[in-house]
């Protein structure tokens, strides 16, 4: 029962983000880089834990990936989220920095700190 409720919540959240996303004028801000793939993102009065979709960071590269993300996304960096799903209460999304349209997952892969992962 709880799992069904979480799936419904994830579906509703993803739908709201897809249908109601106002674009760059109200883009989300990075509040914190928590790990090599986990960000805390806020848009106005809400915060979301966001996992970078389609990338996998090896355990031995976690610290370097976190450092890279913190340099690429200082606090209050504006980003667009392209939702891909929800897992364990975290939004799975591609994260694109608005300043230069950089996909952060692809940036980690290009830097050799992550590998492509299944997006299904």
Q: pTM here?
A: 0.74
Specify the CATH class of 2-116 in words. Answer: mainly beta
Helix (H) or strand (E) holding 79: strand 78-87
- The residue that leads in pLDDT, 7 or 67, is 67
Residue position matching structure tokens 């975290």: 90
Confidence at 44, pLDDT banded by 50, 70, 90 = confident
Question: What is the b/e burial string over 25-57, where b = at least 16 CB atoms within 10 angstroms of the residue's CB?
Answer: eebbbbeebeebbbbebebeeeebebbbbbbbb
Residue position matching structure tokens 């029962």: 1
Which two tokens mark 118?
A: 């299944």
Does residue 6 register a pLDDT over 70? no
Domain locations in the chain as residue ranges: 2-116
The pLDDT value given to residue 20:
53
Render pLDDT for 9-29 as a digit per residue (tens, 0 to 9).
Answer: 565 566 655 555 444 445 799
Question: What's the CA gap between 120 and 105, in Å, rounded?
Answer: 16
């Amino acid at each position: 029962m709880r799992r069904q409720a979480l799936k419904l919540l994830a579906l509703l959240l993803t739908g709201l983000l897809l249908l109601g996303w106002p674009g760059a004028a109200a883009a989300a801000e990075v509040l914190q880089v928590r790990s090599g793939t986990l960000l805390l993102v806020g848009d106005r009065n809400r915060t979301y834990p966001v996992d970078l979709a389609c990338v996998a960071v090896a355990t031995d590269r976690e610290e370097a990936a976190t450092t890279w993300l913190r340099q690429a996304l200082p606090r209050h960096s504006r980003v667009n989220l392209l939702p891909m799903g929800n897992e364990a209460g975290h939004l799975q999304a591609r994260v694109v920095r608005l300043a230069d349209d950089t996909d952060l997952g692809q940036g980690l892969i290009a830097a050799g700190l992550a590998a492509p992962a299944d997006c299904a």
